Amino acid sequence: MSNPSVILNKVGEIVLKDRPIPEIKDEHYVKIAIRKTGICGSDVHYYTHGSIGSFEVKSPMVLGHESSGEVVEIGKAVTRVKVGDRVAIEPGIPSRYSEEYKEGRYNLCPHMAFAATPPYDGTLARYYLAPEDFLVKLPDHVSYEEGALVEPLSVGVHAAKLANIRFNSKVAVFGAGPVGLLSAAVAKAFGATQVLVIDIFEEKLKTAKEIGATHTFNSLKTKDFKKDIIELLGGQPNVIIEASGAEIAVKNGIDIVKAGGVFVQVGMGKDEINFPLAKVTEKELTLKGNFRYSHGDYQDSVDLLDLGLVNVKLIVSHRYDFNDAAQAFENIVKNGKDVVKTIIDGPK
């Protein structure tokens, strides 16, 4: 049996190559046959630029980290899953000895081994190894495609927890990309009674309404942003989730949030921007960064799917066969504004 893999050979060049079938060497690890994988913005950025911050692709790397699959082999000490189980794969493994891991904030571990982040290979292959405690079993009625989308959904869950979203929260989400849309859906599921999604593309705003937003707003169609938002909502939101990374969105979010509110930065943008610091002080805002997800977020995401509280299938705009993975990336680069989430099948 071979192990075909989608490999970033160099910037702008993706190839399909056979890699050695991974062998279980740690008795707590599991071998998974990958069934579905979503393409993340970071995968595309490595494809187009070869690096993200200090992480640089210096040798061929298997792409992908939003995956689900079937357990096909388990280590001798594994008790949490069995062969045949369908699982969502949490793709970042921290050091078991770091302070961050002990504190329950393992997403901040400086020694994190994260799939498709140099120098670690990703999940776009026939087989992938993961420790048993970083797998979450999928209920029978939750598909592999939904299981792959647990990864970006978990980012939205983590943001909602950081923002302390609960019943009667009023939330504004900037950016209707996959994470923004899912953050809006999670906010609604967590009890927010007003969920506003702000973007510049009407089709994405339409999807926002379908996935749970109570209000949408095209920021290109305004001359007085704050006034229009207050009129639309009947007041100011007390939570901002900024999922675009755009400087203007950060400024607008700080401007419209209610005094004493919470601003969570999820989107990645420029390293440095002009920032309205005085307003943060005057409003006594709580400002938080959001980095991936941590303990319990993956399980909570699967539970949201299990209960039917979030419909992640609404964000899937494109689907490709494994052998057409290179075309999938090319399509995102050429037609990005028309792409929300692309799913790639596992090898047949």
Q: What is the pLDDT of residues 65-118, one digit of tens each?
A: 999 999 999 999 999 999 999 999 999 999 999 999 999 999 999 999 999 999
- Give the rounded percent of residues in the chain with a pLDDT score beyond 90: 97
Residue 1, pLDDT > 90, answer: no
Per the rule left: phi > 0, alpha: psi between -120 and 50, beta: everything else, 276 is beta
DSSP secondary structure code for residue 331 in this structure: H
Number of Cβ within 10 Å of residue 307's Cβ equals: 10
Strand, coil or helix: what is 303? helix
Domains in the chain, CATH or no CATH each = 4-148+312-345 (3.90.180.10), 153-289 (3.40.50.720)
| pLDDT reported for residue 53 | 84
CB 325 within 8 A of CB 43: no
For residue 178, say if its preceding peptide bond is cis, omega within 30 degrees of 0: no
Q: What is the mean pLDDT of residues 31-45?
A: 97
Q: What is the mean pLDDT of residues 30-42?
A: 97
Residue found by looking up tokens 């004493």 in the block: 260
CB 101 within 8 A of CB 94: yes
Comparing 292 with 53, the larger pLDDT belongs to 292
| pLDDT reported for residue 54 | 87
Cα–Cα distance measured from residue 175 to residue 173, given in angstroms and rounded to the nearest whole number: 6
CB 150 within 8 A of CB 136: yes
Q: What is the pLDDT of residues 323-336, one digit of tens each?
A: 999 999 999 999 98
What mean pLDDT value characterizes the chain? 97
pTM of the model: 0.96
Q: How confident is the model at residue 59 (pLDDT cuts 50, 70, 90)?
A: very high
Q: How confident is the model at residue 257 (pLDDT cuts 50, 70, 90)?
A: very high
CB 172 within 8 A of CB 257: yes
| pLDDT reported for residue 340 | 96
* Burial of 300 from C-beta contacts in 10 A (0-12 / 13-18 / 19+): buried
| pLDDT reported for residue 172 | 98
Q: What is the pLDDT of residues 209-243, one digit of tens each?
A: 999 999 999 999 999 999 999 999 999 999 999 99
What distances in angstroms separate CA 302 from CA 28, 38, 68, 161, one per listed residue? 22, 16, 12, 16
